[in-house]
Structure 1
Amino acid sequence: MKTNIQILREEKNLTQSELAEKSGLSLRTVQRIEAGNIPKGFTLRSLADSLETDPRNLLSNPKRGNPINRAKLINVSALTSLVIPFGNLIFPSILTYTSKRRRERKN
């Protein structure tokens, strides 16, 4: 899954090296941030200035589904076998299938 920083960088046709040079950060820092580390303070401001955007636009979008919450929901749905026979197979399968379809539509 792409981060907001990676999306903005690609929209401006910049490589990671070019963004690192433009922002005054190391290439490794840019790579770590695009891999999922959350930038703070100076790093966040430098990236925002380099990408000509507000720092809040670089942080992850709260509307996106949290993969941990989805995994918890699938695990809890396995308990349905206590009420419905084979529910521990049916409901997690349905949840997994629908979440995969949502991700495919977003990409």
Structure 2
Amino acid sequence: MNKVQILREEKNLTQSELAEKSGLSLRTIQRIEAGNIPKGFTLKSLAKALETEPEILFQNENQNSEISRAKIINISSLSFLLLPFGNIIIPAILTYRTKNKQTKALGVCRT
């Protein structure tokens, strides 16, 4: 269930009612709730109809998990308090094991 569907149901609107209120087609609403990400006019119309900001409708959940992963890597550098050289070994392992290139780039120190 995505944010659009949650907000629509909170306002007790059907997909047809949301389509009419936003000026979009029913098929467009169905596509958005199925996972398509709207842009431009469609996003603004939808946000206005749901009485919210466009940024709130489609916050990137993967981005939040990437930031969390980067935070864990950074915090793990404190492991030297318990394990000698832990501040180097543990962050290096976590950085190496991440699949996201951007997170990996954040954890790599370049000289």
Normalised by the length of structure 2, the TM-score is: 0.54
CA distance, structure 1, for counterparts of residue 27 and residue 59 of structure 2: 20
- Does structure 2 retain, via aligned residues, the 8 Å contact 1:23–1:47? yes
| Structure 1, gaps ≥5 residues long | 67-107
Q: Which residue of 2 aligns with 1:23?
A: 22
Q: Which residue of 2 aligns with 1:3?
A: 2
Aligned length: 65
CA distance, structure 2, for counterparts of residue 30 and residue 55 of structure 1: 15
Task: Give the C-alpha shift of residue 13 in structure 1.
Answer: 0.3
- Does structure 2 retain, via aligned residues, the 8 Å contact 1:3–1:60? no
Relative to structure 1, the CA distance from residue 60 to residue 21 in structure 2 (aligned partners, 3 Å threshold; closer, same or farther) is same
- Does structure 2 retain, via aligned residues, the 8 Å contact 1:4–1:59? yes
Task: Give the C-alpha shift of residue 62 in structure 1.
Answer: 1.9
Q: Deviations over 1:37-70 (max 9, x none)?
A: 001000000000000000011104526769xxxx
Identity %: 72
CA distance, structure 1, for counterparts of residue 40 and residue 51 of structure 2: 16
CA distance, structure 2, for counterparts of residue 16 and residue 10 of structure 1: 9
The RMSD of aligned alpha carbons is 1.8
| Structure 2, gaps ≥5 residues long | 67-111
Relative to structure 1, the CA distance from residue 62 to residue 34 in structure 2 (aligned partners, 3 Å threshold; closer, same or farther) is same
**Higher relative contact order (CA closer than 8 Å, sequence separation 6+):** 1
Structure of larger gyration radius: 2
